[in-house]
Structure 1
Amino acid sequence: MNTNTRDIEKLLIQGLTKGDQHSYRILFDRYYSWLYNYVYKLSHDSSLSEDLVQNVLLRLWEKKSSLNITTSLKNYLFRACHNEFLMHLRKKKKEYDALDTLKWEVIFDTYNEIEESQLDTDWSKLEKAIEKLPKKCREVFKLSRLEQKKHKEIAVILGISTKTVEVHISKALRFLKTNVSIFFL
């Protein structure tokens, strides 16, 4: 890195720590595309890439007064985005593992304990509960669980971000878990 770039980064960091919105805007304009492209290469998901980079840059602004950047700003942002992506992967894996475990536990328990007529009744309860979900939440849940579509596919179909898809699915699962005491995954 040349001296000029180092000086610019130093000025941006100083401005940022003082709460200067202009410095933040320059930082955002200077690094957003580069960070987005990096995260996109990792994720192959444009909505996710936007969300993760925006999270990093938002946190940078929120913690501006306590920033202690000892490396170059570019390296700091690169590592922050890399770590944000890794945290996303860990979170997704934990959610998937927990849902998968719960699904199989419930299926085995239910299969062993419920007669076919009870299963029909329970399915009916589940369908009624699903219909009580808000419209968009219901659409996302049905596409995910009944049609087995991936989050990215659902986002494209409904014209929403994958993050919004995840929020709707979590909301639906919480509602169903609270309101329906049968297997539903």
Structure 2
Amino acid sequence: MVSDEEIIIQLKDGNMTAFKSLFDSVYLLLYFHCRKFVSDPEDAKDLLQNVFLRFWEKRSEIDIHTSLNAYLFRSVQNECLNYIRSSKISTTLDESLSDEIKNGLNDNEPSPYSDLVALEIEKIVEETVDNLPDQCKSVFKLSRINGLKNQEIADKLNISVRTVDTQIYRALKVLKDKLKDYLIT
């Protein structure tokens, strides 16, 4: 697997294949992270799109001192918090409107169904990760939850970087298979 530094170099060179590969490898996890802050699935997708678009547009200025995953998770979290702040301002303004106007503006609120689907997906992800073989689970959590680089994981677990790559690939493959009914292809 390619290191974060190599991916960043490729991105700075405008390599769209590297960007797509990065997008494909982290989108689902970033989506679940985003849903911790934003209940509406469409809003979460829009926010992720904003993060990736800004990341691509500012790729030449990228200066990451943590792992690429940690950087993206932090970017998503900041995007969500900004969205929540702006929503609170909008809510304050909406409260001053008459009830007739407010009723017409609330058509896009999350439905109980979308909330249940999100909870179901989170449960599937948690159960799937918990049922991974021990080494695969450890590697995956260190990578995707703790945001460690593959070399850092290899050093920490005393395994090769190639083993780390393989374990992450296997975990993502299992997750993709378990979530195939929820993924848009």
- Range class of TM-score, shorter chain: 0.5 to 0.7
Q: Kindly name which structure, 1 or 2, has the bigger radius of gyration based on alpha carbons.
A: 1
- Mapped partners of 1:82, 1:37: distance in 2: 11
1:145 aligns with 2:140: no
Q: RCO (CA 8 Å, sep 6+): is it higher in 1 or 2?
A: 2
Q: 1:85 is matched with which residue: 76, 80, 92?
A: 80
- Mapped partners of 2:55, 2:105: distance in 1: 37
1:44 aligns with 2:1: no
Unaligned 5+ runs, structure 1: 108-141, 157-185
Q: Which residue of 2 aligns with 1:8?
A: 3
Q: 2:62 is matched with which residue: 56, 67, 80?
A: 67
Check conservation: 2:11, 2:18, Cα contact below 8 A.
Answer: yes
Q: Compute the RMSD of aligned alpha carbons.
A: 2.7
- Mapped partners of 2:83, 2:61: distance in 1: 24
Q: Deviation at 1:150?
A: 4.2
Unaligned 5+ runs, structure 2: 114-185
SS in 2 for 1:42: coil
| TM-score calculated relative to the size of structure 2 | 0.53
Q: Which residue of 1 aligns with 2:19?
A: 24
SS in 1 for 2:3: helix
Structure 1's consecutive aligned runs of 4 or more residues displaced over 6 angstroms after TM superposition are: none
Q: Which residue of 2 aligns with 1:99?
A: 94
Count how many residue pairs are aligned between Structure 1 and Structure 2: 112
Distance 1:13 1:145, change over 3 A: same
- Mapped partners of 1:147, 1:18: distance in 2: 47
Give the helix-richer structure, 1 or 2: 1
- Mapped partners of 2:93, 2:38: distance in 1: 22
Partner letter of residue 60 of structure 2? S
Identity %: 31
Check conservation: 2:37, 2:81, Cα contact below 8 A.
Answer: no
